[in-house]
Structure 1
Amino acid sequence: MALITRGVDLILRLVITIAFTVLVACVVWQVVSRYVLQSPSTVTDEMARFLFIWVALLGGAYTLGQRRHLAIDLLPVITTGALRRLVNCAIIAAIAFFAGVVMIYGGLDLVSRTLETQQVSPALRLPMGLIYIAIPFSGICMLYYCLTFLVDLFREGRGPNDQQTTTVGGPLD
């Protein structure tokens, strides 16, 4: 499972890095074309908007997988033993429920409806379903990370908010 997780992490990092790089280039070109060339580019404006959606959603999934997401960890911190494990299971279940129902189920419904109506973006003429596919894809990644959290919880007692332990060689990845 660790090998699969490293692969998922690598793919997400790569896609996020490429998308963010192109996003920055689009925004820089948009500024140059608007203020220097006096001719704003509608293509880069729309592309930057769509890339921002992808970066935000995939970045959220990646951050969850790295256990660096925003969390209020009051209950896991003040509990111990079996109660702490139960609280962590509830947290994982809540994240998995959101990822499964809202992001995967709802996202796939949004994608299919958008593809059925053949809605396209104004400037790039891309099917909007391709843009919205980021929602269920991120949900699948989050659901996978929830599965790894459950495995870690029952093997090591480490909840979704617990940072990785360190060894002599440094942090575990």
Structure 2
Amino acid sequence: MVFAVLVVCVVWQVVSRFILGQPSTVTDEMARFMFMWIGLIGAAYTLGQRRHLAIDLLTGSLVGRTKQLSDLFITLAIAVFAITIMLYGGYNLVAKTLSTGQVSPALRIPMGYVYAAIPFSGAVILFYCVEFAIGLINGTGTGPNDKPVEDAAE
């Protein structure tokens, strides 16, 4: 649904700019903010589905305990990034912009709400990392770079 609204906003932006000669600042800003939310939440979801872009040239040839340790290290590295940059840094950004009262020029919404996509998606990424780590430690799961079991035949 959000993606459909984003497409409508972009189409209207093009029509208003090039056909009507009066660009719409509201749809321009709305499209940018929705794109941020869709992109960040989509990245977290894609990680959880193990469908994100991964360079597995080195890890693809590993097997057994070495692969499990490599997958655990990768999962921990992703979790550290999610905690330090997305959760900690994103929370500080949201708190700072909300405390200063910064609002968007056209929509007049607090920019902290827009930036809240960063810590939100960081929390989702951290959730998936914890899930992956538990599975790797228990020996029941796979790492973030492995396809889910039902997709392994593809």
Same fold, TM exceeding 0.5?
Answer: yes
- Which consecutive residues of structure 2, in runs of 5 or more, have no partner in the other structure? none
Partner secondary structure for residue 139 of structure 2: helix
Corresponding residue for 1:33?
Answer: 16
Indicate the percent of aligned positions where both proteins have the same amino acid. 58
Instruction: Establish whether residue 100 from structure 1 lines up as the match of residue 83 from structure 2.
Output: yes
Corresponding residue for 1:161?
Answer: 145
Paired letter, 2:8: A
- TM normalised by structure 2 equals 0.92
Corresponding residue for 1:129?
Answer: 112
For residues 72 and 139 of structure 2, the distance between their equivalents in structure 1, rounded to whole angstroms, comes to 13
Assess if the C-alpha contact under 8 Å between 1:19 and 1:54 holds in 2: no
Paired letter, 2:110: P
For residues 125 and 160 of structure 1, the distance between their equivalents in structure 2, rounded to whole angstroms, comes to 39
For residues 127 and 107 of structure 2, the distance between their equivalents in structure 1, rounded to whole angstroms, comes to 32
Structure scoring higher RCO (CA < 8 A, sep ≥ 6) equals: 2
Assess if the C-alpha contact under 8 Å between 1:26 and 1:45 holds in 2: yes
Runs of 4+ that moved beyond 4 A: none
Of residues 151, 156, 162, the one that matches 2:134 is 151
Corresponding residue for 2:62?
Answer: 79
Indicate the RMSD between aligned Cα atoms, in angstroms. Answer: 1.7
- Which consecutive residues of structure 1, in runs of 5 or more, have no partner in the other structure? 1-17
For residues 76 and 120 of structure 1, the distance between their equivalents in structure 2, rounded to whole angstroms, comes to 45
Q: Deviations over 1:36-79 (max 9, x none)?
A: 22221110011111111111111111111110111112333222
Assess if the C-alpha contact under 8 Å between 1:64 and 1:145 holds in 2: yes
For residues 60 and 22 of structure 2, the distance between their equivalents in structure 1, rounded to whole angstroms, comes to 55
For residues 106 and 45 of structure 2, the distance between their equivalents in structure 1, rounded to whole angstroms, comes to 30
Partner secondary structure for residue 97 of structure 1: helix
Q: Deviations over 1:71-92 (max 9, x none)?
A: 1123332222222111111000
Corresponding residue for 1:45?
Answer: 28
Partner secondary structure for residue 156 of structure 1: coil
- TM normalised by structure 1 equals 0.82
How many residues end up aligned between the 2 structures?
Answer: 152
User: How far 1:97 sits from its partner (Å)?
Assistant: 0.3
For residues 158 and 65 of structure 1, the distance between their equivalents in structure 2, rounded to whole angstroms, comes to 11
Instruction: Establish whether residue 117 from structure 1 lines up as the match of residue 103 from structure 2.
Output: no
User: How far 1:157 sits from its partner (Å)?
Assistant: 4.7
Assess if the C-alpha contact under 8 Å between 1:20 and 1:55 holds in 2: yes
